[in-house]
Amino acid sequence: MDYLLSNKSNPRSVGADVKGLAHIMLELFLDKTKDNFVEVKKLQSAATDPFIKECLRICSEQYSMTIDSFIPAAFKDL
């Protein structure tokens, strides 16, 4: 829902075609994913429990792959 509201306030969304809207949504998704990645890294460095640290490491890897591979591939496929 927040993405829809963000998109509504984006002046580029007015008159954009489906491909343009998809591009805007991917940009919003990338920004949010980067923010979440930073938070996961902070939690990971502060964690003391080995199980929690490992869970956050896996989570961090998934965010990293999303930022470095999945989202760029989605942009390319537009």
Q: Taking the CA of residue 73 as centre, how many other CA atoms within 13 Å lie in the half-sphere pointing to its CB?
A: 6
**What global pTM score does this model have?**
0.81
Q: 15-19, 33-37, 42-46, 50-54: lowest mean pLDDT where?
A: 15-19
Residue 24 covered by a domain: no
Residue 12 covered by a domain: no
Residue 40 covered by a domain: yes
Domain that residue 74 falls in: 33-78
Task: Say whether pLDDT at 32 is over 90.
Answer: yes
Residue 7 covered by a domain: no
Place of tokens 């999303």: 66
Position with higher pLDDT, 4 vs 48: 48
Q: Taking the CA of residue 6 as centre, how many other CA atoms within 13 Å lie in the half-sphere pointing to its CB?
A: 13
Phi, psi dihedral angles at 14 (to 5 degrees): -70, 120
Q: What average pLDDT is seen over the chain?
A: 89
Residue 51 covered by a domain: yes
Q: How many domains does the chain divide into?
A: 1
What is the pLDDT, as a whole number, of residue 5? 47
Mean pLDDT along residues 2-12: 59
Structure token digits, residue 65: 């792959």
